[in-house]
């Protein structure tokens, strides 16, 4: 199993009374609450932490979000290119540029190609469906977002691999009469990733043979999404794939003791408890966010569950929508996060055991993407976490070999 460390460079320094009064901490919170001097210090710390990952043998990943306290990374290729130059060994995962928001996928391909050349072939490409607040920030139409997503991936993929002069692209959503990018990338072929939890998109990821990553979906949601991937391949007559085609993203906090790992790990929950707050116009009321056959259900106010927390079972075969998942996560405690498999925390032995058990429970995956810093976690705490991950946990994860289970074995 490979491990990838990432930080979204959050901005947790907005006063609590401001956050409490805001209807959304993404998209519409005034940027006067973001001090550029504080932001510069955060970037310095996080880039240094990425460089430490390179020293410790961890791969690294960078995300992208817009106009919110959850992340200051509004331009993924900028950080990816910095890391491409400053690191030496780590593979670099872009997870990733929000391509359905960009009006020029060819420009994205040029950015990726340049970063790949700078890194001498260490770049991996990940694609994420844009969230509701991102639509407002980019002045994008949420309707047909998924169609734009897949077409942009196709156009970027062709631009990165075509070497025989200019070609023309006449698609449903993108038109480009002359595509011929320079420099061409270092790699002949890129491994491509996609982050999604719903079964419809998971099935398409499977048919395309991309690496399928689940973010904070827990045991049941991960099993179901992975099953949709495998089933779609089988129904299309495609060969089974190994666990190297599956990834899982969770919070990870390693301390010298269980108490330390859990105590520091609790700071990571700021991402859930605070930075997910979003107004309805950016979520369930946003046109196009729910398929027509369940849109009515998404718009209704649901009765509160009797016990056991929010009910995530819905019309989408038991896999929660992103909004439902966010509502559940906002009230999560550290004990609940660990029980649900969205946080692995403790001493090195405990963390490895938790990861291995989750891996076995969901049918296996070949990549762990680690949300290693967020909220008020300090630079020193983050560096200690990285060092313990690299020296005490990573060698044991590396020993987990890929396997190719049957549909029945993976269920």
Q: How far apart are CA 290 and CA 283, in angstroms?
A: 10
Q: Tell me what pLDDT residue 137 has.
A: 86
Report CA-CA distances (Å) from 402 to 57, 238, 365. 19, 19, 8
pLDDT in tens, 1-11: 999 999 999 99
First to last CA, the chain: 20
Q: Tell me what pLDDT residue 323 has.
A: 58
Percent of the chain with pLDDT over 70: 91
Q: Tell me what pLDDT residue 307 has.
A: 45
Query: Is residue 169 within a helix (H) or strand (E), and if so which, with residue range?
Result: strand 167-170
Query: Is residue 373 within a helix (H) or strand (E), and if so which, with residue range?
Result: strand 367-373
Calculate the CA 407 to chain-centre distance: 25
Helical residues (DSSP H) of 144-257, grouped into ranges: 145-161, 199-208, 218-235
Q: Tell me what pLDDT residue 96 has.
A: 86
Considering Cα of 275, then 210, then 400, then 384, what sign does the dihedral take?
negative
Name the more confident of 271 and 330. 271
Calculate the CA 46 to chain-centre distance: 17
pLDDT, average across residues 58-67? 96
pLDDT, average across residues 91-114? 95
Confirm whether pTM is higher than 0.75.
yes
**How confident is residue 63, by pLDDT bands cut at 50, 70 and 90?**
very high
Could you tell me which residues are beta bridge partners of residue 71?
68
Q: Tell me what pLDDT residue 318 has.
A: 42
Whether pLDDT at 217 is above 90: yes
Q: Tell me what pLDDT residue 182 has.
A: 97
pLDDT in tens, 294-348: 777 766 766 554 444 433 333 233 445 555 666 677 889 999 999 999 999 999 9
Q: Tell me what pLDDT residue 303 has.
A: 58
Listing DSSP states for 100-163 in one string gives GG-S-HHHHHHHHHHHHHHHTS-EEEEEEPPPHHHHHHHT---TTHHHHHHHHHHHHHHHHH--
pLDDT in tens, 223-268: 999 999 999 999 999 999 999 999 999 999 999 999 999 999 999 9
Considering Cα of 22, then 27, then 28, then 34, what sign does the dihedral take?
positive
When the pLDDT of each residue in the chain is averaged and rounded to a whole number, the result is 91
Is 258 in contact with 346 (CB distance < 8 Å)?
A: yes
Whether pLDDT at 289 is above 80: no
Q: Do the bridges between strand 175-179 and strand 167-170 make them parallel or antiparallel, or are there none, so unpaired?
A: antiparallel
Q: Tell me what pLDDT residue 315 has.
A: 29
pLDDT, average across residues 140-154? 92
Set out the domains of the chain in order of their start, with CATH numbers: 2-280+340-410 (3.20.20.30)
Whether pLDDT at 407 is above 80: no
pLDDT in tens, 156-194: 999 999 999 999 999 999 999 999 999 999 999 999 999
Q: How far apart are CA 205 and CA 209, in angstroms?
A: 6
Name the more confident of 211 and 286. 211
Q: Tell me what pLDDT residue 238 has.
A: 97
Of the candidates 238, 248, 124, the residue with the CA atom closest to the CA atom of residue 192: 124
Is 97 in contact with 64 (CB distance < 8 Å)?
A: yes
Q: Tell me what pLDDT residue 302 has.
A: 60
Is 246 in contact with 365 (CB distance < 8 Å)?
A: yes
Phi, psi (rounded to 5 degrees) for 212: -100, 115
DSSP-derived 3-state class of residue 5: strand
């Amino acid at each position: 199993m490979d491990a990838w460390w990432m930080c979204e460079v959050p901005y947790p320094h907005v006063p609590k009374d401001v956050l409490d009064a805001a209807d959304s901490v993404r998209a519409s919170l005034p940027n006067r609450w973001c001090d550029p001097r504080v932001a510069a210090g955060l970037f310095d710390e996080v880039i240094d932490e990425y460089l430490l990952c390179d020293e410790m043998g961890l791969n690294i990943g960078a995300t992208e979000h817009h106009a919110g306290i959850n992340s200051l990374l509004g331009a993924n290729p900028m950080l990816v290119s910095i890391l491409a130059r400053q690191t030496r060994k780590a593979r670099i995962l872009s997870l990733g540029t929000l391509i359905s928001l960009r009006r020029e996928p060819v420009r994205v391909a040029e950015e990726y190609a340049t970063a790949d050349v700078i890194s001498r072939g260490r770049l991996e490409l990940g694609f994420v469906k844009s969230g509701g607040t991102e639509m407002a920030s980019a002045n994008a139409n949420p309707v047909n977002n998924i169609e734009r997503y897949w077409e942009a991936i196709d156009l970027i993929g062709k631009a990165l691999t075509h070497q025989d002069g200019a070609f023309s692209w006449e698609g449903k959503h993108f038109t480009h009469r002359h595509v011929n990018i320079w420099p061409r990338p270092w790699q002949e072929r890129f491994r491509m990733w996609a982050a999604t939890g719903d079964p419809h998109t998971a099935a398409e990821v499977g048919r395309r043979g991309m690496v399928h990553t689940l973010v904070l979906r827990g045991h049941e949601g991960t099993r179901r999404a992975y099953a949709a991937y495998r089933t779609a391949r089988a129904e299309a007559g495609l060969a089974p794939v190994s666990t190297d085609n599956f990834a899982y993203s969770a919070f990870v906090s390693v301390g010298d003791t269980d108490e330390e790992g859990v105590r520091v790990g609790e700071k990571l929950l700021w991402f859930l408890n605070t930075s997910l707050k979003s107004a309805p116009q950016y979520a369930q009321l946003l046109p196009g966010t729910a398929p027509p056959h369940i849109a009515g259900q998404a718009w209704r106010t649901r009765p509160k569950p009797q016990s056991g927390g929010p009910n995530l079972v819905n019309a989408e075969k038991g896999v929660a929508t992103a909004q439902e998942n966010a509502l559940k996560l906002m009230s999560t405690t550290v004990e609940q996060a660990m029980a649900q498999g969205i946080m692995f925390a403790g001493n090195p032995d405990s963390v490895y055991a938790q990861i291995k058990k989750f891996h076995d429970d969901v049918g296996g995956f070949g990549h762990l993407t680690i949300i290693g810093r967020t909220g008020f976690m300090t630079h020193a705490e983050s560096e200690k976490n990285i060092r313990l991950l690299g020296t005490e946990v990573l060698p044991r994860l590396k020993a987990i070999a890929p396997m190719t289970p049957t549909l029945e074995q993976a269920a």
